Amino acid sequence: MPLVVIEVMPKAEILDPQGKAITSSLARSGYEGIAEVRMGKRFELTVEGEIDAARLEQLQEIAEETLANSVIEDVVGIHVMDQS
């Protein structure tokens, strides 16, 4: 079945405390040169049937209405990984 990847990240203007904690932790662990880390979500959806225009529209709606919280997050990618 086709696999679709949907990527969601915190909006640029939103503080990302988990990302900031990781950035500090990396510096403390001696990893140099990592200026910033931001943490978002990656969803893999296994989809029945083929990916046509109607399915893509549905997936866009799922991404924006269900997977992302549009107040603080953006959908940054919807990728069809495996069409078979």
Residues that bind its own copies (CB under 8 A): 1, 7-9, 19, 22, 25-26, 29, 31, 33-49, 55, 58, 62, 66-67
Distances (CA, A) of 68 to 56, 64, 71, 78, 84: 16, 5, 9, 12, 26
Q: To the nearest whole angstrom, how small is the minimum distance from the Cβ of residue 71 to its own copies? A: 18
Q: To the nearest whole angstrom, how small is the minimum distance from the Cβ of residue 18 to its own copies? A: 9
Q: What 3-state class would DSSP assign to 5?
A: strand
Q: Which is nearer to its own copies, 62 or 80 (CB)?
A: 62
Q: Which is nearer to its own copies, 13 or 44 (CB)?
A: 44
Q: What 3-state class would DSSP assign to 10?
A: strand
